[in-house]
Structure 1
Amino acid sequence: MSGGSFMYATAGAEMRPDLKSMPNPGPAPKAKPRKSEDSASVDLTKVADLHVLSADGKSFSFKDLYLRSSHGAASHSQTHRTLFIFVRHFFCGVCQDYLQMLSASIKPEALNSPPLKYPTQIIVIGCGEPSLIPWYAETTSCPYPIYADPSGQLYQALQMTKTLSLGETKPAYSPGTFVGTTLRSMKQMVMSGPSIFKGGDFKQVGGELLIEVGSGAATHTDIAEPLPYKEYGSSEEEKTQTQTPHPATSGQDEQAHVVWVHRMQSTRDHTEVPELRKIIGLD
């Protein structure tokens, strides 16, 4: 790979500066409304049994992740949601910027209280090797669970795009320069030693996917409708439930539906964080 191609592939965009030393740029620009792609384009029956890996190499089916509630176990009487964030290779500086902004803007405790309609969890999935997950979580300050799909089977089944295009618009979540982010990505790769080629496919881009599980599971047309807020996470039993995968069920209580989906069309095409907050019901 030539030097120019290498820089282009590793970063996919720009350098994350020291945010503490930056002057206040004023109010962030309003995110452009992004309509959901056709939720029917995601067939959960085709992806439910595909597997991802945790940092310690344990294998979980995709449905294991969205069938369990944000409290870690089955929630038979309540609807719950899972927002999946699919990122590029683990050395992509733009996706690192995105997760940093997302983690700073949406705290885990905010996902289990009003104004959310239902308890929600955020899960990050990358296309690299699971051995890089602890480093990636520390680098991005991400408090959410991170899994890996090094085979790319889940990305492919979800029809995620492969491209090196930067796209036409520079995102608000990555304010730095192309050269800066490229150099940062290259440095991370070199410093990773034997993991230099374990970050994942440079061309693979991701997206965001919101899945709702429960008897009241909505379709994407319900996303802007006022649904009754339910109290949750209050029982002692629910508070002490352990982080165990939910077994697959076929009952009506555990219907899973895709509420919203966005597939990136370029390396800098994640849904802007302010818009994502609106989609899950925080704003």
Structure 2
Amino acid sequence: FGEPPELDRFDEMGLPSRPQLEEAAALSVISESGVRVPFGNLFEGQKTIVCFIRHFWCPLCQDYMFSISRNVSPEVLASAGIKLVIISNGSYEMIKSYRRIFRTPFALYTDPTHKVYNSLGMTLQTLEKGPKASYIRHGMVSGIGMVVKNAVKVGMPVWKPGGDIAQLGGEFILGPGLSCSWAHRMRYTRSHVSILQVIEEAGVD
């Protein structure tokens, strides 16, 4: 019977084309302070790992964020001339408290319109879990409990939009300039590629 129509057109690992990169680079993402920044500015000057997560309330992506905090050294990346940034799709007003959960030094931006996601081929929307990835540490009930506990601990503004619960993300190695050396787009809600594999693909030992 084959794949559903949307999966027929979906390319999990394909590199974005030059026109796709040009389109994405011209679109805006929003910083923690509410400033709109051209997406292309994030990787214009150096090789940059860009991790697109799902919504701010996603326990699966919180597990992924914790895996980044545990496994990625900002100093090691800096010595390799590589930057890492994270993109979500909720309100920028949630960024500050969200970063505090993981004590992450990495910059986080939002794309609430999903335009950058879509321009880079992250067009799938689903709530299907798929196979369990290595970074997953919580089941449904314990994951929801973790999210609530974290929100209370850091005082997340729960009245602000957390993002589209069906939007999937991915990981890209972009720059310098309009170049992409590696790409992965999620098929399921827990199918991020291990951050250790991503930084290895970026050339970090």
CA distance in 2, matches of 1:121, 1:201: 26
How much has 1:267 moved relative to structure 2? Answer: 0.6
Determine if contact 1:190/1:196 at 8 Å carries over to the other structure. no
Aligned to 2:193: 271
CA distance in 1, matches of 2:41, 2:156: 33
Determine if contact 1:100/1:141 at 8 Å carries over to the other structure. no
Which amino acid letter does the alignment assign opposite residue 49 of structure 2? Answer: L
CA distance in 2, matches of 1:110, 1:190: 32
Aligned to 1:82: 48
Q: Of 83, 92, 103, which residue of structure 2 is paired with 1:130?
A: 92
1:259 aligns with 2:176: no
Determine if contact 1:91/1:199 at 8 Å carries over to the other structure. yes
1:209 aligns with 2:182: no
Aligned to 2:146: 184
Alignment coverage as a number of residue pairs: 191
SS in structure 2 at match of 1:265: coil
Aligned to 1:172: 134
Calculate percent identity across the aligned residue pairs. 31
CA distance in 2, matches of 1:190, 1:162: 28
Determine if contact 1:39/1:259 at 8 Å carries over to the other structure. yes
1:112 aligns with 2:74: no
SS in structure 2 at match of 1:268: coil
CA distance in 2, matches of 1:40, 1:194: 35
Determine if contact 2:28/2:39 at 8 Å carries over to the other structure. yes
- TM (norm. structure 1) is 0.62
Determine if contact 1:129/1:148 at 8 Å carries over to the other structure. yes
Aligned to 1:152: 114
SS in structure 1 at match of 2:117: helix
**Which of these two proteins has the greater Rg computed from alpha carbons?**
1
Q: Of 1, 8, 21, which residue of structure 2 is paired with 1:44?
A: 21
How much has 1:159 moved relative to structure 2? Answer: 2.0
Task: List per-residue Cα deviations over 1:174-220 (Å, max 9, x = no partner).
Answer: 2222211023335666896863451100001100011121xxxxxxx
How much has 1:81 moved relative to structure 2? Answer: 0.3
Aligned to 1:16: none
CA pair 197-164 structure 1, distance change in 2 beyond 3 A:
farther
- TM (norm. structure 2) is 0.85
Unmatched 5+ stretches in structure 2: 1-11
How much has 1:280 moved relative to structure 2? Answer: 1.5
CA distance in 1, matches of 2:157, 2:76: 38
